[in-house]
């Protein structure tokens, strides 16, 4: 089985490496070709269309929906893929874009899955990514043995559903960060020890990966970016745009889009998303409040 | 060591039983005396003051701050306790109330801790409660061997801090429920399978006790009350009142107070707090939206 990986970045590099180690014939392409050479044992192509031409399964790991569409059309990948090829887009793009790409590819008799991931570069290296897959169940079955080398893949519904699940993931992450930040700040404001509060409530109903990881970052005031504020803001905006397209009212996401936008506009654009705590803190001493205290 | 437990309800009953089994001389009182008799091996009193009179440590497990104050004053407990007695209020009350009670008791040379719990009746029966303790560290050290029979106790700061930590716990729970509900509903609206989405994102950054437990309730549409909507609303209002008293701006809690209030006002008062999902769902077909579709 020949597998092509388009996009050899932070995620694509370790994933392509795992597929080589698993014994597949792997073809790779990257916009800047030097990075593609880092996948030892893979065939490096300077054209995306050439990389995809003889593949049985093509994985895309690109920046956004626009980059995916441009690679498919301007890059010639859609026409280069043989009928029967399986297109597995593991990039995080909007659900509507994933559906449009699937329709475009259906015209070439290319099957399409949207299969975005969660788990970061560590998950990509360890093959422990959460992979959320939308498309036809039969296509999912076909991709499953390959995806098994990359993480835990779950079929979640028809085309676009994988991207919906990824948005849901990002919404929950972003909102839970706000919950932990506002709760810990209130405790601090009242004189309690934030670190001890976090410890006290761990293991109970309030426990979460966010309380453990991002809660610790907040206590350590360690806002070096693992996931950037701007990326969290983009996720919130994609969720809102999707909600609007579906006629879905999302009052919680609406509030959080404004909180993350405000954080990004107030000097935190390149900080970790857990720095939403600093945005909530900043609001405690807004000019209006200071004026009231005078 | 003589321990008195005031309030033998859903939580007080299993907790008092555990203290009897641990070998302490346990005295109990309840407003309706029949319930107190269920603590086998304990001395039952018909007056709270009598129950507290000879104790070394008095635990209160009452409905709210008003009930605690009334038991201390009208019930004569404050004056009945000997100097040096340790008052451990495990009820969930407002931080400011806990501080006021501690000041009141200091006049009688009675030491006070606020030590609310999380973990429900199951945690009370198994001795696995999370116990959040505010007060003097020396008093915490004194109570710790007793609390160890009831759960995992963590000192979180000065008087009132235990109640602050409990509010933080409830805020995080209530907000995370909203995050999971809105995210799963968006997926459903877009055609994805909610149950599979929950499964797909489990184990990743979006994972939490709420996703596991309340997320499952949402998927099963099982809203039988484990924690009632009205209790979650009360928690949100206590958090907001505390924030206002501290001059703390809490935009997220403010939104959620209105969401839980709306849920309670729209027929969900006695449902489980995870039924916030139904409130978010109800808003999808508001008259304004229907009108726009016509």
The domain of A118 spans 2-157
User: Where a domain ends, among A157, A175, A205?
Assistant: A157
Q: A155 and B196 in contact by Cβ < 8 A?
A: yes
**Are A174 and A105 contained in the same domain?**
no
- pLDDT at position B289: 47
Q: How confident is the model at residue B238 (pLDDT cuts 50, 70, 90)?
A: very high
**Are B150 and B195 contained in the same domain?**
no
**With contacts defined as CB-CB under 8 Å, which chain B residues touch A199?**
154
B212: burial class by Cβ within 10 Å (0-12, 13-18, 19+)? middle
Name residue, tokens 């209020």.
B89
- pLDDT at position B291: 37
Tell me whether residue A214 is in a domain.
Answer: yes
**Are B13 and B126 contained in the same domain?**
yes
B122: burial class by Cβ within 10 Å (0-12, 13-18, 19+)? exposed
**Are B142 and B177 contained in the same domain?**
no
Q: How confident is the model at residue A77 (pLDDT cuts 50, 70, 90)?
A: very high
Question: A167 CB near a chain B CB, below 8 Å?
Answer: yes
Number of domains comprising chain A: 2
User: Where a domain ends, among B105, B135, B157?
Assistant: B157
The CATH code of the domain that includes B88 is 3.40.50.720
Q: Which of B183, B217, B280, B282 to mutate to test the interface with A (most CBs of A within 10 A)?
A: B183
**Are B134 and B20 contained in the same domain?**
yes
Alpha-carbon span A119 to A125, nearest angstrom: 10
- pLDDT at position B199: 98
Tell me whether residue B194 is in a domain.
Answer: yes
pLDDT at A95 over 50: yes
Question: B211 CB near a chain A CB, below 8 Å?
Answer: yes
User: What's the angle, vertex CA A121, arms to CA A117 and CA A123, rounded to 5?
Assistant: 60
B83: number of Cβ within 10 Å:
8
Alpha-carbon span A188 to B95, nearest angstrom: 13
**Are B60 and B81 contained in the same domain?**
yes
Q: B205 and A283 in contact by Cβ < 8 A?
A: no
Question: What confidence tens digit (pLDDT) does each residue in A247-293 have?
Answer: 999 999 999 999 999 999 999 999 999 999 999 999 996 544 443 33
| 3-class secondary-structure state, position A226 | coil
State the SS3 of A148-216: CCCEEEEEEECCCHHHHHHHHHHHHHHHHHHHHHHHHHHHHHCCCCHHHHHHHHCCCCCCEHHHHHHHH
Alpha-carbon span A253 to A273, nearest angstrom: 15
Q: B208 and A204 in contact by Cβ < 8 A?
A: no
pLDDT at B292 over 50: no
**Are A102 and A212 contained in the same domain?**
no
Q: A118 and B206 in contact by Cβ < 8 A?
A: yes
Does the pTM exceed 0.90? Answer: yes
Question: B203 CB near a chain A CB, below 8 Å?
Answer: yes
User: Where a domain ends, among B104, B126, B157?
Assistant: B157
Question: B121 CB near a chain A CB, below 8 Å?
Answer: no
pLDDT at B110 over 60: yes
- pLDDT at position A151: 97
Tell me whether residue A93 is in a domain.
Answer: yes
Please give the share of chain B, as a percent, with pLDDT higher than 70. Answer: 97
According to DSSP, residue B178 is labeled H
Question: What confidence tens digit (pLDDT) does each residue in A156-168 have?
Answer: 999 999 999 999 9
**Are B199 and B256 contained in the same domain?**
yes
**With contacts defined as CB-CB under 8 Å, which chain A residues touch B207?**
208-209
**Are B178 and B57 contained in the same domain?**
no
The CATH code of the domain that includes A183 is 1.10.1040.10
Q: Average pLDDT of A39-49?
A: 97
Q: Average pLDDT of B118-145?
A: 96
| 3-class secondary-structure state, position B44 | strand
Q: How confident is the model at residue A188 (pLDDT cuts 50, 70, 90)?
A: very high
Question: Complex ipTM above 0.90?
Answer: yes
Q: B200 and A156 in contact by Cβ < 8 A?
A: yes
Active site residues of B: 166
Tell me whether residue A294 is in a domain.
Answer: no
**Are B27 and B125 contained in the same domain?**
yes
**Are B230 and B133 contained in the same domain?**
no
Tell me whether residue A293 is in a domain.
Answer: no
**Shortest Cα distance from A203 to chain B (angstroms)?**
8
Q: B203 and A132 in contact by Cβ < 8 A?
A: no
Question: B204 CB near a chain A CB, below 8 Å?
Answer: yes
pLDDT at B64 over 80: yes
- Scan residues 36-95 of A and list those with Cβ closer than 8 Å to B: 95
Tell me whether residue A20 is in a domain.
Answer: yes
**Are A146 and A183 contained in the same domain?**
no
Question: B142 CB near a chain A CB, below 8 Å?
Answer: no
């Amino acid at each position: 089985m020949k597998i092509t990986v388009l996009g050899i970045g932070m995620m694509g590099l370790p994933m392509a490496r795992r597929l080589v180690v698993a014994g597949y014939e792997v073809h790779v392409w990257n916009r800047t070709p030097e990075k593609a050479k880092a996948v030892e044992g893979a065939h490096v192509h300077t054209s995306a269309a050439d990389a995809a031409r003889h593949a049985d399964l093509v994985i895309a790991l690109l920046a956004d929906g626009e980059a995916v569409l441009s690679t498919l059309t301007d890059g010639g990948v859609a026409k280069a893929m043989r009928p029967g090829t399986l297109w597995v887009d593991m990039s995080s793009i909007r659900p509507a874009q994933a559906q449009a790409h699937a329709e475009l590819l259906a015209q070439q008799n290319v099957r399409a899955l949207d299969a975005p991931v969660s788990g970061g570069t560590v998950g990509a290296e360890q093959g422990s990514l959460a992979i959320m897959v939308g498309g036809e169940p039969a296509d999912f079955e076909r991709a499953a043995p390959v995806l098994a080398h990359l993480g835990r893949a779950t079929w979640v519904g028809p085309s676009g559903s994988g991207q919906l699940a990824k948005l849901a993931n990002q919404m929950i992450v972003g909102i839970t960060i706000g919950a932990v930040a506002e709760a810990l700040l209130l405790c601090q404001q009242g004189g309690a020890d934030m670190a001890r509060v976090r410890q006290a409530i761990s293991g109970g109903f309030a426990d979460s990966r966010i309380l453990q990881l991002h809660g610790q970052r907040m206590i350590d005031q360690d806002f070096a970016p693992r996931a950037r504020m701007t990326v969290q803001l983009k996720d919130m905006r994609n969720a809102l745009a999707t909600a609007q397209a579906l006629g879905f009212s999302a009052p919680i996401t609406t509030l959080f889009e404004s909180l993350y936008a405000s954080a990004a506009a107030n000097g935190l654009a390149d900080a970790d998303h857990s720095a939403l705590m600093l945005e909530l803190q900043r609001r405690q001493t807004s000019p209006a409040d200071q004026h009231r205290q005078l």
